[in-house]
Amino acid sequence: MSVRVALIVGSLREGSYSRAVALALKDLAAPGLELVPVEIGDLPLYNPDLETDQPPAPWRRFRAEVSATEAVLFVTPEYNRSIPGALKNALDVGSRPYGHSVWQGKPAAIVSVSPGVIGAFGANHHLRQPLVFLNMPVMQQPEAYVGNVEALLDDEGRLTNEGTRDFLKTFADAFADWIDKTRG
Ligand code: FNR
């Protein structure tokens, strides 16, 4: 039976390299791991005053989509050695109302992506901090820091580098095992 996994991209940019890597992962993942893109770009900034009996429609859409999955795969760039604000906002929106977090207990994995050489290490590890509080067991190994990403893509933005594709396949397979393990 296949496991539905929310695929959340931290970049809102149309030509996003992170999205290119996320789409490659979606193609590479074994049939048992169904990666379902969940968009974050339309979410109003989290404000508890909007948490009425009729919260903003994009919040409701987002919460319902994540709730319909069993695990979460984050693919994110690094902004100023941390995660983009849009991604932090999505974490906040999904975490409320108190006691109804859509993240609760869901296994997670992180792929960070950058044109730079450090592979967005800072974003990868900053993201781990809120995931502790959100009680999401995060896969520890293998770690995925995709650096020099522009050199790995073709002119259409497809991930063509064989070594990276092999690595991401290994990563996706390890995540499937991790989800199995955490579900007991
Ligand atoms: C960046 N970029 C960047 N890159 C990096 O490796 N470390 C960093 O700290 C930052 N900081 C940063 C801040 C802001 C505000 C922007 C807009 C960009 C560069 C970033 O990696 C690059 O723009 C990527 O292309 C962003 O990923 P996507 O949108 O291609 O997925």
CATH number of the domain to which 143 belongs: 3.40.50.360
Domain housing 127: 3-182
Cβ of 14 closer than 6 Å to ligand 1, yes or no, is: no
Report how many domains make up the chain. 1
ipTM of the complex in this document: 0.99
Sequence-distant (≥ 6) Cβ neighbours of residue 157 within 8 angstroms = 15, 17, 20
> Is the pLDDT at 183 greater than 90, yes or no?
no
Mean predicted confidence (pLDDT) in 87-94: 99
Tens digit of each residue's pLDDT (9 = 90 or more) over 103-136: 999 999 999 999 999 999 999 999 999 999 999 9
Q: Is 81 in the pocket of ligand 1 (CB under 6 A)?
A: yes
Q: Which of 12, 76, 79 to mutate to test the pocket of ligand 1 (most atoms within 8 A of CB)?
A: 79
pTM, rounded to two decimals: 0.98
pLDDT band at 169 (very low <50, low <70, confident <90, very high): very high
Res. 165 pLDDT band, cuts 50 70 90: very high
